[in-house]
Structure 1
Amino acid sequence: MKGLTYILLFMTFFLCHGQEDSLLRKLDQAEGRERVEILHNIIINVWLNYPKQAMGYGEEAFEVSRQIGDSALISKSLRLIAGVHYYKGDYDHSLEYNLKALEIALSLNDSSLINNGYNNIGLLYYNLGSYQTALEYLLKSKDMKARIGEVYGLSTTLNNIGLVFERIHDYATARKYFEEAYDVAIETQNTDNELYSINNIGITYLREGNLDVAIKYFRRGLILGEDIANINWGAVSARGIGEVLMLSGVKDSIQYFLEKSIKASESIDDKKGLAEGYFLLAKNSLSNEEFVDALAHLSKCEGWANQIQIRQQQLDNLHLYADIYERMGDTEKVNEYLKQYIQLRDSLFQDVISRNLSLIPIKIKEEQDRYLMSEQQIKFKDQVIRNQLFTAIIIITVPLLVVMIVLFRKNEKKKKELQKNNEELKKTQKLLITSEKMASLGVLAAGVGHEINNPLNFIKNGIEALSKKMEGKTDDEMKTYFRIVNEGVERATNIVKSLSHFSRRSPSTDEPCNIHEIIENCLLILHNKIRNKIRVVTNFTSEATELRGNEGRLHQAMMNIIANAEQAIKDEGTIEINTKKVGDYMEIWIEDDGEGIPEENLLKISDPFFTTKPPGEGTGLGLFITFSIVEEHGGSIDVKSNLNEGSKFIIKLPLWNE
């Protein structure tokens, strides 16, 4: 098999260089424009399989074009250099050169150069994840080709449009464009695009799960790729066969086809193909529970993907890492890679936005060029036509101005309504927060009347009087009863006193607050719910514990978190509370071994009105208020949780520093 690979590479080299040798002989005698055009032809012959060689020819073509001052040749040279970067998988540099080429083409108003630029830029934005922008450029290219009757390159553009629809999972529409591209390739006898289309059609059937049809297209592609010595698309066909076999559960030949695709990609330095091949090998190893091999293959895939910044592949890699470690039972690694996945996904989203914003100057330049072209045409028309045009503009502009004025007034009215609604929403939010606070106090203070301190004092004074009166007349048993009653009264008094901390109305968050006393007060209030069920372990730091904040609000925040921990423990369990000083902040760790929080709910627990409790048992504002209180104190909350293992809340609050 290894020998066959070398034979195939030698034949490819021979066929490519057969055409190239003829061009090189002409190149020896050529100068100026003729030399540039020969260099362009050589680049197209070798850029797919020998990108380094193609890059050297491209740089020479650009330099000669610049020396003779031919803008059209400069634009084409830039576009071909961009093509070499594309086949190397370097999309950012390819986009840079294509945008420069398009700018020159627009200034020349060269339809052929412009529509090729639209096609190439559209394909690049597809690879960079900007699908809407990609489709916009590709459809421009298709429409311009139809308008000027240019068939050359139409098959490529149709294939590229299909790729966009395939990526957004509209496989039927994608296949329509791929089949149309195939027909054009057959008509124009373009075997490379014929192979490109065959592979793309196979991919749509693969994604739809129609594996029997998919593998037929990939086998056709593999045979055609070997016939025409197209190593790149032949490698795609081999990967497609390997993926179909993997999904079909046929294990015998998967490794063979995937390794065949990797060897082909290595021979032409196709980094994108290498990344895709190793990714599929990693998935295959995972399906066989060969975790070490899966990680090794995925590491190689990651290296290639990172080297050429294949965004979608980087995302897929992180997700596959999480899947592998999940099968290995390493929860910490799973969480680590899922966190990286979310961060990269959000970062790519921001990149797409930035990239779309960067298009604004280019689109403005397009409009300016069109305007200048129209202005030049107007100069050749007589005065009557100019007057008619001016009148038409007035007729069009006046209604537009009227519409704009009406829309402006409506927008102003909507803006005022929106401001009013925002103010009402803020008021409603404050009322809801207050309502939640008062609801919590109502549950905590159930059965405790407004005048409870008076009867407590009566009981205490009565017991003291009775004790004095019976002094010397009571036995040890009676003394024990007196002591128990006194302790009960003292405990009830402390509970009422603790409740007062939750009803403090001071708006200031610049008061010294003892966090240990606050936590002890909360535990005292929850004593009846906790006792005989939950063991509370406190490990308080001996360093300064005063925080800068609002004591009433901090009582409310701590109470919500500890109460949630108590509710998470259905039978028996432990709540552990630790404090430690970290710089100018105090960290409070509240950890329980209860039910835990499902992963899909972790990002929602700070949302208002989010609750997993049955209707009538929770408003969904407790943790929302808690997060709000901590944030208004300049602090932060980090939540870690594993289902059926428990949760840990890490609260960070600023210390009191005079």
Structure 2
Amino acid sequence: MKTIFYIAILFLCSNNLIGQSDSLINYSKEVEGKEKIDALHQIVIDLWLNYPERAMGYGEEALSLAQELDDSTLISKSLRLIAGVYYYKGDFDLSLEYNKKALAIALELKDSALINNGYNNIGLLNYNLGSYQTALEYLLRSKEIKEKIGETYGLSTTLNNIGLVFERIQDYKTARQYFREAYDVAIETEGLDNELYSTNNIGITFLREGNLDEALKYFREGLSLGEEIENINWGAVSARGIAEVLMQIEKVDSAVYYLNKSLEASTSIDDKKGLAEAYFLLAKIAEDQGDHEGALENLKMCEDWANQIQLWQQQLDVLKLYASVYKSLNEQTLENKYLNEYIHLRDSIFHDVVSRNLSLIPLKIKEEQDRLRLTEQQAQIRNQVITNQLFTFIIIITVPLLIVMIILLRKNDKKNKELQRNNEELKQTQKLLITSEKMASLGVLAAGVGHEINNPLNFIKNGIEALSKKLEGNKDEELQSYFKIVNEGVDRATNIVKSLSHFSRRGPNTDEKCNIHEIIENCLLILHNKIRNRVRVLTNFTNQGSELKGNEGRLHQAMMNIIANAEQAIIDEGTIEITTRKKDDFMEIWIEDDGEGIPEENLMKISDPFFTTKPPGEGTGLGLFITFSIIEEHGGNIDVKSNPGQGTKFIIRLPL
């Protein structure tokens, strides 16, 4: 009886939504040209969340009419709306393709609003496809443009999307800050749909942190608001959130009730993502209660829906739960089958993310070039406007005011010189951005190489252990020594791979616990092949503790640059001495070599970008510049002392 009641409610809500669009559909049949396209665009927005198939037809009609009118602005908007329909259908690849087409046209038009929408949408899609760093770059760029042009419409959505990225990387505090800001903006400008979206997102952060009371409060508020404004999609999200909270406090019957409520809502609007999530939670409940048959049945339903759209995280969770169920049933063959499928899918997704990040580098470089060109053109236009105004004043005003005009012209000349200097600085910034993208790509590749090497190392390690057990009791000392040699080789390779992973860590966070001694040891391990049999390394580490707060990946990069420079300064044989000590509220790291040293005229330039004494092609001049920047980011400083022919000492101070 309850099921019939909820279906009736959903039916009435659906009829209401369709009714709201009917008047627009009738209006679109009565008008022509741009008015007709604008009406079709609004119809798409009204229908895409709950009725994506119908919305697609109107979007394609709008695109066809815009192409007939050869109106680039309307073509870009139509492409963006079709991309939105694909997004709600769960086809993220096609959505990304159409959004890129829309953004390319927007960049040609130099339309700030359209460019902003493109950045926001591409950022959200990269989030769904697992490229979190790229997603954050696009979304922050979108937020920056909105704030610069003073546009509040859509700002709540952008803030929510930024919060989603931080929520996915488990920085719940930062995520909640963005969700709350989005909630405030929605209340002021953008209506109840975005208010509901923000409310659910805040609830999710509390749920992930284990604050179940706060999570339940926000999800119940979201469910009430969803019913009030008849937003079926976000109302279903609220119901699933309530169910997750009830599962954790072991109120299973109530959790099942809300999951069934979510299923009914998602079924009414063909929300594949919602259906997959609800069936997965039902499967977890069944497995927790020992109902393996029910768990497998719900998992099959979840798998069917998740495979229709690109819910890769959901697919991974399904495979893991399958393996867990079959483990409980003592069916080892099926357990191993699903574990192998999980590993294969995880590796495939990893490679896709790496490839996608690398392929985006040329696009980002082009965008930066377009932005630089736009800035230069705007500067030229401003200069031209000022010049025209000056000539107009000269013609109109009388002779006594010519002196004033001369003064203004001189001021204008100064402004032109400042603009030229600014343009040169922008070009320099572009070079740094390109270099930064290359370094980001190297980090991704380092992570990929480490991942790929670890698998065969594990096979070798397991194989040696199996052989060792097979030959237990064999007293052949020569054979045992071979096992020992192979094990030492595998352990050493594993340590090198582990050290590589530190250099792939990126991000602005400088609040991690970092062990400076371990960081230095990792750098020496990476440089082992270069320094062995040639350079003697002496370490004198303080025994007063070695932990400080910072960004571990960035500190690895800084230490590596300085130690590598010390090794390169030693021509034949020599010594590198590394000392750490605590002084006042700082950790001091002394890195001293007895190499060639640095000439006095170059000592003040070593922290300048692009300064290098190496031959062309052997150095970019960015190593020490980046190192000084990293230490400054951490609130520290570097002092360099050097005598040509005697060696160089770097003294790094980092706050405790």
**TM-score, shorter chain, exceeding 0.5:** yes
The 8 Å contact of residues 272 and 305 in structure 1, kept in 2 or not, is answered as: yes
Match for residue 139 of structure 1?
Answer: 140
Compute the displacement of 1:304 (Å).
1.2
The 1:151–1:330 alpha-carbon spacing in structure 2 relative to 1, beyond 3 Å, is same
TM-superposition CA deviations, 1:120-156 (whole Å, max 9, x none): 1111111111111111111111111111111111111
Compute the RMSD of aligned alpha carbons. Answer: 3.3
The 1:323–1:387 alpha-carbon spacing in structure 2 relative to 1, beyond 3 Å, is same
Match for residue 73 of structure 1?
Answer: 74
Match for residue 565 of structure 1?
Answer: 470
2: CA distance between counterparts of 1:258 and 1:394?
A: 58
Count of aligned residue pairs for this structure pair = 428
The 8 Å contact of residues 372 and 426 in structure 2, kept in 1 or not, is answered as: no
The 8 Å contact of residues 379 and 419 in structure 2, kept in 1 or not, is answered as: no
Compute the displacement of 1:93 (Å).
0.9
Match for residue 565 of structure 2?
Answer: none
TM-superposition CA deviations, 1:387-430 (whole Å, max 9, x none): 84797489869999xx9xxx9xxx9xxxxxxxxxxxxxxxxxxx
Match for residue 258 of structure 2?
Answer: 257
The 8 Å contact of residues 135 and 164 in structure 1, kept in 2 or not, is answered as: yes
2: CA distance between counterparts of 1:399 and 1:163?
A: 33
TM-superposition CA deviations, 1:257-294 (whole Å, max 9, x none): 11111121111111111111111111111001111111
TM-superposition CA deviations, 1:523-582 (whole Å, max 9, x none): xxxxxxxxxxxxxxxxxxxxxxxxxxxxxxxxxxx999654423399xxxxxxxxxxxxx
Match for residue 272 of structure 2?
Answer: 271
Whichever residue aligns with residue 79 of structure 2, its letter is L
Q: Give yes or no for the alignment of 1:199 onto 2:200.
A: yes
Match for residue 13 of structure 1?
Answer: 14
Match for residue 32 of structure 2?
Answer: 31
Compute the displacement of 1:610 (Å).
7.6
Whichever residue aligns with residue 252 of structure 2, its letter is K
The 8 Å contact of residues 323 and 339 in structure 2, kept in 1 or not, is answered as: yes
Deviates more, 1:356-365 or 1:115-124: 356-365
Q: After the TM superposition, which residues 339-358 of structure 1 pair with which residues of structure 2 at under 5 Å, given as runs?
A: 339-358=340-359
Unaligned runs of 5+ in 2: 388-412, 440-462, 475-486, 496-656
Deviates more, 1:38-47 or 1:378-387: 378-387
1: CA distance between counterparts of 2:280 and 2:15?
A: 32
TM-superposition CA deviations, 1:15-47 (whole Å, max 9, x none): 223321221222121111110000011111111
TM-superposition CA deviations, 1:132-185 (whole Å, max 9, x none): 111111111111111111111111111111111111111111111111111111
2: CA distance between counterparts of 1:56 and 1:559?
A: 61
The 8 Å contact of residues 280 and 298 in structure 2, kept in 1 or not, is answered as: yes
The 1:309–1:561 alpha-carbon spacing in structure 2 relative to 1, beyond 3 Å, is closer
The 1:53–1:388 alpha-carbon spacing in structure 2 relative to 1, beyond 3 Å, is same
Whichever residue aligns with residue 93 of structure 1, its letter is L
The 8 Å contact of residues 205 and 214 in structure 1, kept in 2 or not, is answered as: yes
Q: Give yes or no for the alignment of 1:216 onto 2:121.
A: no
- 1:567 is paired with a residue of what secondary structure? coil
2: CA distance between counterparts of 1:150 and 1:392?
A: 30
The 1:224–1:387 alpha-carbon spacing in structure 2 relative to 1, beyond 3 Å, is closer
TM-score (norm 2): 0.60
TM-superposition CA deviations, 1:280-338 (whole Å, max 9, x none): 11111100111111111111111111111211111111111122122222233222222
Unaligned runs of 5+ in 1: 412-557, 570-602, 612-658
- 2:472 is paired with a residue of what secondary structure? helix
Match for residue 359 of structure 1?
Answer: 360
1: CA distance between counterparts of 2:226 and 2:427?
A: 61
Match for residue 524 of structure 2?
Answer: none
Whichever residue aligns with residue 203 of structure 1, its letter is I
Match for residue 322 of structure 1?
Answer: 323
Compute the displacement of 1:9 (Å).
2.2
Match for residue 59 of structure 2?
Answer: 58
The 8 Å contact of residues 378 and 386 in structure 1, kept in 2 or not, is answered as: no
Match for residue 104 of structure 2?
Answer: 103
The 1:74–1:175 alpha-carbon spacing in structure 2 relative to 1, beyond 3 Å, is same
The 8 Å contact of residues 27 and 39 in structure 1, kept in 2 or not, is answered as: yes
The 1:194–1:385 alpha-carbon spacing in structure 2 relative to 1, beyond 3 Å, is same
Whichever residue aligns with residue 159 of structure 1, its letter is N
Q: Give yes or no for the alignment of 1:164 onto 2:165.
A: yes
The 8 Å contact of residues 191 and 228 in structure 1, kept in 2 or not, is answered as: yes
1: CA distance between counterparts of 2:465 and 2:253?
A: 58
1: CA distance between counterparts of 2:83 and 2:130?
A: 18
- 2:252 is paired with a residue of what secondary structure? coil
The 8 Å contact of residues 202 and 214 in structure 1, kept in 2 or not, is answered as: yes
2: CA distance between counterparts of 1:95 and 1:368?
A: 22
The 8 Å contact of residues 174 and 204 in structure 1, kept in 2 or not, is answered as: yes
The 1:287–1:304 alpha-carbon spacing in structure 2 relative to 1, beyond 3 Å, is same
1: CA distance between counterparts of 2:119 and 2:153?
A: 14
Compute the displacement of 1:366 (Å).
1.6
Q: After the TM superposition, which residues 490-501 of structure 1 pair with which residues of structure 2 at under 5 Å, given as runs?
A: none
1: CA distance between counterparts of 2:291 and 2:488?
A: 36
1: CA distance between counterparts of 2:187 and 2:12?
A: 24
1: CA distance between counterparts of 2:283 and 2:292?
A: 9
The 1:226–1:396 alpha-carbon spacing in structure 2 relative to 1, beyond 3 Å, is closer
* Percentage identity across paired residues of the two chains: 59
1: CA distance between counterparts of 2:307 and 2:133?
A: 24
TM-superposition CA deviations, 1:47-98 (whole Å, max 9, x none): 1111111010000010001110111111111111111111111111111111
TM-superposition CA deviations, 1:208-242 (whole Å, max 9, x none): 11112211211111111111111100111111111
Whichever residue aligns with residue 14 of structure 1, its letter is N
Q: After the TM superposition, which residues 70-469 of structure 1 pair with which residues of structure 2 at under 5 Å, given as runs?
A: 70-188=71-189, 190-374=191-375, 376-377=377-378, 381=383, 388=417, 392=421
1: CA distance between counterparts of 2:66 and 2:340?
A: 49
The 8 Å contact of residues 125 and 133 in structure 1, kept in 2 or not, is answered as: yes
Deviates more, 1:201-210 or 1:342-351: 342-351
2: CA distance between counterparts of 1:277 and 1:224?
A: 20
Whichever residue aligns with residue 267 of structure 1, its letter is S
The 8 Å contact of residues 604 and 610 in structure 1, kept in 2 or not, is answered as: no
- 1:309 is paired with a residue of what secondary structure? coil
The 8 Å contact of residues 376 and 423 in structure 2, kept in 1 or not, is answered as: no
